[in-house]
Structure 1
């Protein structure tokens, strides 16, 4: 079946619906319409379908309800901003430095970016075929045999939703830490100790306020979001370049290239520089994830089957280069590594900024880091809210009918946005009582999201002989299977590494509790499944697709549309 637009022709594989010439004629003015001429009572009945994207949604069983305003550039900007390297790299730079030194930070980012590109390409290929707000969760329906869809979709959907929610909560918490770190740097010091030290309660309350700001912005109509997000990526990239130049000019006593690119230490205490190097992948793993975030906006994007996958891959390339540039610059500017790593702010990069630019210059540079991290938080919440909306319309939540409503004023799923705000606030509240637990929850972000991706990839390959998959406009061709294999192998390997305690000897204070959180989530979701969810949840819900309707039932084709 060919879907045509004024700008290009997109071919969607699959069997043609019966009598397609009378079901979907194209009007002489170029608009799309569904007309049934074979039925005497419906000769003049018309069901307007806005564009090729909505035709595809109808074909795979969805009634289009959201408005499409995201263009090519706003989609690319969104994809880059959800990674937000200028905000995320400074927030996580301390982990690879502490674990394995400068060369670990530099080369872990380089290798991790290549692996992220393989995962992102695999994701892009699958979501190109089924560009819906559910992202990879919805793809499950079309790569798994019908009798197994519910169980697979339940696991993948919850992994994806919880991974994204943990990411949003961690972004708000990190922004709170960054703002309070600025306050610490501007406070007076007595005997090397700052007069202001933020408490856990202050950090959490500020994080919840930031989550509310995220929610307010994400509740805007799609056309407003399109205009706002257009600026996210340019500010991110330009600010990153300017900050790197400023730091290299202003920082005295820069480190040598030999120190930056070859020095690996055993900061983890595990007795192996090689293993300490592996622990350094935390920064790139936490930053370069949420690849399918762009696809969650598919139902609000023009030409989503093409622009979404292109934006995902472009974002990885741009973010990989910019992130590596930032990491190398920060390493060169580690003039006094021990003092910088022991900074009272808890964020080594903040100390690098203030050492180079003083309070004024450092604050200006740090402002842009916080701003970009805020952009990332808004983008991540937007993706999480659309995923929550898709999950709710499949009755996967309590009170799903309420959470799946689309606001009549903004034409966006506002209820789902505030579901995410409430859920992430509850996660951040844990930080008041236990810093260890909140860090463990944040650490689950990358493994949970990446596992949700590779699970679909594995299912696609495992069942491809039994389930007919119709590729989308973007496909990797002969490279698909080897790149899928690399992606799956890498995620399985790095997920094990990321669950290890970061330092040895292992104590209650430095234990990596992410594995405990993962185990609890897995146990809880399976108990919920067997307690009753399996009786009410059937996987991604769709209307009868056009391909499945008998030609003599034209009224059924029109049942989901507003007739003039």
Structure 2
């Protein structure tokens, strides 16, 4: 289905580069067999050092999914809605369907491996007259989804750290002596985001060397925790209960609907599929290493998530105590039930560490996306945001813009947890909808605009996989916008749909008011630098 044989001639057919005002031929022959040559052929100059090896790229992709932290943070949703069987079977089926999105994205970014990721591909799947608006909306959807994700992961790390403190300060009988406040959580979150910003400011060489350890910590930590809780939990549920009984505890009086709510964990864990693509300009042999890493990381995440879901299910013999745990997370209570307070703290440290890795790698992807969109003049002050600082070889202005925006978003939690949860809930649908917008464009205009094939190809399975991916995203987006419990109140209302509508209105209004006059979509750098209207804007 996918081939690692690089068809060099297929890359060489991109010899005419569109700037949406016509086509220009390269002034010289370009060596498209090299990463730098392929990038130049696409339309950009090499500005980063390619320090990411195949191993560090795979580790990066695994870290972005952060299965140990993601599942532990979100397992409560399927468990509370439908019990352990719901958590297991929604992960099993949802992971397979999510794999179709990953395959579709991997094939597209193999053809065009740039920091713009799926956003850049929009240039080649839509007709020339439709590219500007399509790329504008797709770019904003992708960047806002990523930024909300970075902010939410930072917030979850803050919550996890304070939960660890609360467990450590309990009186030994499970009674809390410290309850974190919203102000405490926000303060810790801002510190976490600043630390992650400092990390993302490092040169690619140091990022690559450190990131290669992220995946082993994630994998070994997940396996170790599964073994520990299964061995030390005395009162385990029978297998028939764990695998065969879907409960109806969401309040909707429908077991089928309670089961569907379980897909929230899948949607929140399997997302940001093109994060690896945003690092393409720092990856060696990016056209194949990036796509392969996406697929391998999804497979690892799916297997580990299934192991965790099964392990948590067997150790959830007292559902009421888990759902009403004063520690705020059923998984924390599972650890305490298995190994006591001190043992639970030791296990929880691994979860926090992995979640921190997820936030750091997600922020790294977000900063490269800001750089790529600024390179195409999408933002005010794009000429500043796109600068790569020679001292570090990284886009520091983009890095710290992301940090500041994420900190400001988290300040909202001081006034309204419902609003901040709504913003965080935008992550999965905003990113996923940006992916299928490009995939749908490719399917619809395929005969008119067949894209150049990269070394990773789905072959004859491309269209069926694309159709499944689009259907799954539309389905899961509906689930993501529904209130997870009933009766619906102002406290449990899902405000994500309101935020998404606001984003669409914002991006569309900006397009017609101002951007339509000057934004032409992903472009060729040679023309961009000589466009007087762009100089006036920046």
TM-score (norm 1): 0.89
- Distance, in Å, in 1 between the alignment partners of 2:137 and 2:495 is 21
Task: Choose which of 239, 243, 251 in structure 1 pairs with 2:221.
Answer: 239
Q: 1:495-539: per-residue Cα shift (whole Å, max 9, x none)? A: 011100111111111111111111111111111111101112111
Partner in structure 2 of residue 160 of structure 1: 142
Classify 1:16/1:103 alpha carbon distance in 2 versus 1 (closer, same or farther; 3 Å): closer
1:335 matched to 2:317? The reply is: yes
Tell whether the 8 Å contact from 2:7 to 2:455 is kept in structure 1 after alignment: no
- Distance, in Å, in 2 between the alignment partners of 1:89 and 1:416 is 30
Q: How is 1:281-360 mapped onto 2 (pairs within 5 angstroms)?
A: 281-360=263-342
Partner in structure 2 of residue 12 of structure 1: 10
- Distance, in Å, in 1 between the alignment partners of 2:171 and 2:417 is 25
Partner in structure 1 of residue 378 of structure 2: 396
Structure 1 residue 23: Cα displacement: 4.4
Q: Which runs of 4+ in 1 moved over 2 A?
A: 7-18, 20-24, 188-193
Partner in structure 2 of residue 177 of structure 1: 159
- Distance, in Å, in 1 between the alignment partners of 2:6 and 2:439 is 29
Q: 1:28-65: per-residue Cα shift (whole Å, max 9, x none)? A: xxxxxx7xxxxxxxxxxxxxx79701111111111111
Task: Choose which of 236, 239, 251 in structure 2 pairs with 1:269.
Answer: 251
Structure 1 residue 235: Cα displacement: 1.0
1:384 matched to 2:366? The reply is: yes
Structure 1 residue 192: Cα displacement: 6.4
Structure 1 residue 466: Cα displacement: 2.0
Structure 1 residue 152: Cα displacement: 0.4
Partner in structure 1 of residue 409 of structure 2: 427
- Per the alignment, in what secondary structure is the counterpart of residue 146 of structure 2? helix
Unmatched 5+ stretches in structure 1 = 1-6, 25-33, 35-48, 546-555, 557-564
- Per the alignment, in what secondary structure is the counterpart of residue 133 of structure 1? coil
Tell whether the 8 Å contact from 2:196 to 2:359 is kept in structure 1 after alignment: yes
Structure 1 residue 207: Cα displacement: 0.6
Q: How is 1:184-263 mapped onto 2 (pairs within 5 angstroms)?
A: 184-189=166-171, 193-263=175-245
- Distance, in Å, in 1 between the alignment partners of 2:409 and 2:255 is 34
- Per the alignment, in what secondary structure is the counterpart of residue 382 of structure 1? helix
1:372 matched to 2:354? The reply is: yes
Please tell me whether Structure 1 or Structure 2 has the larger radius of gyration of its CA atoms. Answer: 1
1:133 matched to 2:115? The reply is: yes
Partner in structure 2 of residue 481 of structure 1: 463
Classify 1:8/1:510 alpha carbon distance in 2 versus 1 (closer, same or farther; 3 Å): closer
Partner in structure 1 of residue 444 of structure 2: 462
- Distance, in Å, in 2 between the alignment partners of 1:296 and 1:389 is 10
Task: Choose which of 411, 416, 429 in structure 2 pairs with 1:447.
Answer: 429
- Distance, in Å, in 2 between the alignment partners of 1:237 and 1:243 is 10
- Distance, in Å, in 2 between the alignment partners of 1:186 and 1:351 is 13
- Distance, in Å, in 2 between the alignment partners of 1:311 and 1:109 is 21
- Distance, in Å, in 2 between the alignment partners of 1:331 and 1:221 is 42
TM-score (norm 2): 0.93
Classify 1:190/1:223 alpha carbon distance in 2 versus 1 (closer, same or farther; 3 Å): closer
Q: CA RMSD in A?
A: 2.0
Tell whether the 8 Å contact from 2:423 to 2:496 is kept in structure 1 after alignment: yes
Unmatched 5+ stretches in structure 2 = 17-24, 531-538
- Distance, in Å, in 2 between the alignment partners of 1:488 and 1:403 is 33
